[in-house]
A and B are shown apart, each in its own frame.
Chain A
């Protein structure tokens, strides 16, 4: 027993030793930044202490017995094997404890469930492997995926040090921005498979399910940056679709909203200009790396049996209009990119795949042509 104790002590010391080097880890649930998350934390602590208390009682009794009632100490076994009173007591007491737990738990559950009287709504759509946010009140709409720095480091055998990236795997290219002190209703759905949207500081997670709508709500008091991750296994890059929520005070939030609206107008302007092939290929390479490479692989070789190769693919090296249709509308596991990417990004990435990744078809498509297709028919030229 003494040796065991020493071992445990050694391990704990080792843990603290490591801790001083890397810091920043926590042992307990976080309190979070909303009333609900604080209620949940209190409930968690209540049950934890109940368990600790019961544990001390039961294990204490057991270890007392193990120490004193052993044959090597000459203890003679008694032969009792039943006691109805004791059995009734240790059935009733746990029942009462459970009732005591159920009451605050029910209250917290009701509070979580109440999405009424919300002041704004945000629609969250899970995609393999990024999040789509749509502000239902003002039309702001964008996708949010893993930031480029983390993405480079997380490739198998990259040899790069994750500790060199701030917020490794917990950072995105475009965070969700929300105002503080407002009751925000979230509606959740998914495009392809089930995902789950979790920011621990908000106190809950919710599954996003294709074809179904879920709801939840939050109201954040303090401005700040809150990070989370997808928590429902959603395929290969499940570990690489983080969530970043930035809570801003109302005036700053309003400035942000105006900036977003201005950016949409600027984007539309750049789509109508004439792009050179070099410009398209250069932009297309960047788009490819963030939007395509996770399935078709950075070198375009695909994953045999699951994701087709683009290198020397009959579609990519064939008729450009057929490729445009496929990219816009998707096919099987390939998502429809029509609304996920801008006209510029689409034109650029299609041009890049035909003139990069070992292909050299030589042709290109202009953003304006894509734009025409997008506005003409939603689901442009869809033929089943």
Chain B
């Protein structure tokens, strides 16, 4: 909750008013900063809800044998953990960042469609609450995995229609958010802010916006077909009625693969924003970064069936999806090389945002390596649906997307609040997180290679050692995140008490426009467009 000075204005004929009074401010707000804050606070709350579910999973897997939960509830936990983290935590957090930063980065006064902005946030809340309510329904929450594969998912009890409608609401919310971001970027840029001068974060969100608009209707369609299969006697996915269960997987992953890039492209954008500031150097290869992001987005649409190498596709399909998937390594490699070149011969300092960003580059690359390994179809016949996969996508999501969200928090909190966070505790949070996240996920590679399938509540005793170590890492990682909550609250309430300059970080205003505003920025910023466009990042 940013400490914003309510500037009262007597001239009612123009719109230079401050926020509404009291709690109602947060309900009716159309201000991009307020809505950004709402998204970020909601995402952080859901990060802890999804995290609590992960703790249940790791507690049950701490030792072989069934100690705490029954297998059905365990499956609900894996399913809900994924859905809450993807749709409740990571995606909303990036939308929150987009809301806060994009107008300030392109010199716009607000988002292009402020009322729709408010609606997309509240639909998100409604969607996530509806989803969470299924936990208390007869038959339990969905337990078929976040991919909701039929026929299994059709065995869900009372919760199925609620989960489907929750997905619809989340989809509408995401589409509206994405339209808003795309419209803002295309229409609201300050004079002189050409596309190829935009900060990388804006670029990555522009591309992500198009991904979201393309894929969310696909997901909504696929779950609607589940609904009609269950309640209206259609047979889209039922072989007995002439349908095909694998059809669902094709549709789902046509959504699902771009979806995972929705969570990683803005991550790339934030990393490309933070690393140059702390290396005191322009981003290396700006235009190749833009093209690489666009290529990754394009490729994400044509590789979906690499999630389905074992469903029995014809060999031509297997080979095509293998080759196409391997291609992704090229633009992704370019990005990693560019970040390294940005650091090369810089003058680096290692404040918390930089530490998280460096950890992101290293650990995301490890997730990329395992991704390359599993792109090879015949080898994926061994890796598929094992803990090797679990390790892979957690490396690309936790020490990548989540770490960058933390980095973004530390990087922009002083700008948002006008207060400095506690660097010591920030660094403690970083070191605890980076060590425990590896203790948590690295052993899962071993488990997968040794033959442990994913989504099982109990396991053979030869998997016991690494599971215990992984759980210990999980508990430490979970507990460490409470430090982040503490830091955020403390910073909002006044932080360390040092005065924060407009730039916050040395020479940051050379890189991007938000650092030319006061800290905290006025409730309405850039009501007149800026005249000087920073080009340092290019």
Contacts and interface: CB of A to CB of B under 8 A. Distances in A.
Interface of A: 4, 7-8, 11, 14-15, 18-19, 22, 24-30, 39-40, 43-44, 47-48, 51, 54-55, 58-59, 61-62, 65-66, 69-72, 75-83, 86-87, 90-91, 94-95, 98, 101-102, 105-106, 108-110, 112-113, 153-158, 160-163, 167-170, 188, 192-194, 196, 198, 200, 203-207, 209-212, 214-215, 228-240, 303-306, 333
Nearest to B152: A193
B285 interface: yes
Contacts of B244: 211-212
Contacts of A30: 449-451
A328 to B, nearest CB: 19
B336 A81 contact: no
B195 interface: no
Given A25-B462, A43-B379, A200 B75 contact: no
Given A18-B468, A75-B346, 14 more contacts: A28-B446, A30-B449, A81-B281, A81-B286, A160-B65, A168-B460, A168-B461, A196-B310, A212-B312, A239-B455, A239-B456, A305-B137, A305-B157, A306-B140
Contacts of A168: 64, 460-461
B348 A82 contact: no
Contacts of A238: 71, 75, 455-456
Given A19-B465, A105-B376, A206-B312, A211 B245 contact: yes
Contacts of A303: 72, 139
Interface string B359-380: 0011001100110110011110
Nearest to B65: A162
Nearest to B373: A47
Contact of B344 (A61, A157, A233): A61
Interface of B: 64-72, 75, 137-140, 143-145, 149, 151-152, 155, 157-158, 238-240, 244-246, 279-286, 288, 310-312, 315, 318-319, 322-323, 326-327, 329-330, 333-334, 336-337, 340-350, 358, 361-362, 365-366, 369-370, 372-373, 376-379, 381-382, 384-386, 431, 435, 439, 443, 446, 449-451, 453-466, 468-469, 538
A155 B72 CA distance: 12
A157 B66 contact: yes
A55 B364 CA distance: 12
Contacts of A69: 279, 343-348
B345 A65 contact: yes
A91 B69 CA distance: 49
A132 to B, nearest CB: 17
B384 A205 contact: yes
A47 B372 contact: yes
A1 to B, nearest CB: 10
B379 A105 contact: yes
B302 to A, nearest CB: 16
Given A91-B330, A156-B66, A204 B381 contact: yes
A3 B366 CA distance: 23
Given A44-B382, A109-B377, A154-B458, A209 B284 contact: no
B239 A167 contact: no
B346 A105 contact: no
A207 B450 contact: no
A35 to B, nearest CB: 12
Contacts of A51: 369-370, 372-373
A239 B373 contact: no
A203 B381 CA distance: 7
B346 A214 contact: no
A168 B377 CA distance: 31
B65 A154 contact: yes
Contact of A102 (B67, B322, B334): B322
10 contacts: A15-B443, A69-B279, A78-B281, A101-B376, A102-B322, A105-B377, A167-B460, A193-B155, A206-B310, A239-B459
A162 B384 contact: no
| 6 A-B pairs with least C-beta separation | A211-B239, A239-B456, A305-B138, A305-B139, A214-B312, A81-B282
Given A81-B281, A94-B333, A55 B369 contact: yes
B82 to A, nearest CB: 12
